[in-house]
Amino acid sequence: MSLPGDIERAAGILRAGGVVAFPTETVYGLGADAENAGAVARVFAIKARPPSHPVIVHVADAAALDAWCTPIPAVARRLAERFWPGPLTLILRRRDRVPDTVTGGLDTVGVRVPRHDVALALLRAFGGGLAAPSANRYGRISPTTAAHVHADLGRDVDFVLDGGPCRIGVESTIVDVSSGAPALLRPGGVTPEELEEVVGGPVHMRVGGPVRSPGQHPQHYAPRARVVIVDREEIGARAAALLASGRRVAVCASSRASDLPGGVEHIVLDPAPADTARELYAALREVDRRGCDVVLVTMPEEIGLGVAIADRLRRAAGLGPGSAGSDY
Ligand code: TXA
Ligand code: MG
C-alpha cells in the first residue's frame, strides 16, 4: 500500500508533466495532467493506444464539470449528483481547454469522479483534471491491483500509487449525455437499472458507430488464452474434448463446478455478481499465468452488474458488445 507522502510525490510528478498510475474503485488508471498535451501523449505511447481513442478526465467533484464541459443538460446533473463519486463516466460537449489528445479530436469529453480515497486525495493535491485510461497495454486486461500495473507497464510509468485491490473490478459505466436521449456506450459499475431510475426511462446501448473507443472494440479486455463461452451443463464435456486434443484448459466458474475432468485448471469465481466482477480480471490473468491455451467461462444472468460482466466476457471471447455472435 502507498505510504504517507506518496500523494504529494505523485502530485508533484503530475505537475512536472509525468505519468502516475493510481487506484480507483473500478480499475487502476494511468494518469497525466489533462491540460498537458505532451503528458497525455506519453500515456498513449506507454499504453500503445491509437491516438484517435479518447480518454476519460477524472476530477475531484461534480462542481468541476462546468470547467470541462458545456452545455450540461439537467439529466447530466442528476446523474452526477446521484452517482458521483462513483463508477459512472458522462460524455458531454467539451470546452476549449480540453486538448485534442484527450478527446481524440471529438467535440465531446468523458468525465468522472472516482470513488476512492487515494484517487480523490491525488486529485485534490494535484488540483486539476487527470486524463486517465485503464493502466494496461492496449487491448489487454485492465489492472485491478498495483501488482498488475507493475507487471504490465513496469518501468514505463513514473510512479504507481498502491491502493490495494479495486472494490468493483470492472470499468465505469459510460453514458453519452452530449445530445438527445442518454445512450449507454459501455455497461459498468453503475447498473442499467440504477441509471434508468434516474433517467426515468430506458437507456439503450449504442453500438454500431465507428469503432473509435477501445471500450467499443470487439476484441478488448482479452487474456492471451482463447476465451470460450459455454453453457454450464457442457463444461465437463467441452473441457474433456479440449484436453484430449492436447490443449491446456482452464475453467473459470464457481466452486460448484465439480464434474471437471482431472488436469483442468479450475479458477474459482464466486457466483455473486459483485464478487464475480471484482475477481474477474485477476482470474483471467491467472489463466495466462498458468499457461493455459483455452479458458471456458459461463455467462451470468444479464441483470444488474451481470450486464457488465457479460459484456466483458463477450469481448474477451472476441464477440464484441451486444448479443453473442455480433460482428460489430
Ligand atoms: O473505470 C474506468 O472508466 C477506468 C478508470 C481508470 O477510471 N478508465 C477506463 O478508461 O476504463 P479507458 O480509457 O480504458 O476506457 C474509457 C472509455 C474508452 O472506451 C474511451 O474511448 C471512452 O471511454 N471515451 C472517452 N471519451 C469519450 C468520448 N468523448 N466519446 C466516446 N467515448 C469516449
Ligand atoms: Mg481500458
Output the tens digit of pLDDT for each of the chain's 328 residues: 777 799 999 999 999 999 999 999 999 999 999 999 999 999 999 999 988 899 999 999 999 999 999 999 999 999 999 999 999 999 999 999 999 999 999 999 999 999 999 999 999 999 999 999 999 999 899 999 999 999 999 899 999 999 999 999 999 999 999 998 999 999 999 999 999 999 999 999 987 554 445 455 555 678 999 999 999 999 999 999 999 999 999 999 887 666 789 999 999 999 999 999 999 999 999 999 999 999 999 999 999 999 999 999 999 998 876 433 322 2
What's the confidence (pLDDT) of residue 215?
A: 52
Residue 135 in 3-state DSSP? coil
* Ligand 2 centroid, distance to 142 Cα (angstroms): 6
Residue 27: CB within 6 Å of ligand 1? yes
What's the confidence (pLDDT) of residue 328?
A: 21
C-alpha dist (Å) from residue 24 to 14, 145, 322: 17, 10, 26
Is domain 226-316 classified as CATH 3.40.50.11030?
yes
Q: Which of 149, 171, 207 to mutate to test the pocket of ligand 1 (most atoms within 8 A of CB)?
A: 171
Ligand 1 nearest-atom number relative to CA 132:
6
Residue 167 CA: which ligand is closest?
A: 1
How far is Cα 108 from Cα 8, in angstroms, rounded to an integer?
31
Domain ranges of the chain: 6-199, 226-316
Strands 265-268 and 249-253: parallel
What's the confidence (pLDDT) of residue 326?
A: 29
Is domain 6-199 classified as CATH 3.40.1350.10?
no
What's the confidence (pLDDT) of residue 2?
A: 76
Q: Which grid coordinates belong to 149?
A: 500495473
What's the confidence (pLDDT) of residue 298?
A: 94
Helices in the chain by DSSP H: which ranges? 6-15, 37-47, 65-68, 74-83, 100-103, 117-126, 146-153, 192-199, 235-244, 273-289, 306-316
Residue 36: CB within 6 Å of ligand 1? no
What's the confidence (pLDDT) of residue 211?
A: 44
What's the confidence (pLDDT) of residue 258?
A: 67
Residue 136 CA: which ligand is closest?
A: 2
Task: Note whether 189 and 175 are within 8 A (CB).
Answer: no
Residue 226's beta-bridge partner residues?
294
Residue 213: CB within 6 Å of ligand 1? yes
* Ligand 2 centroid, distance to 76 Cα (angstroms): 23
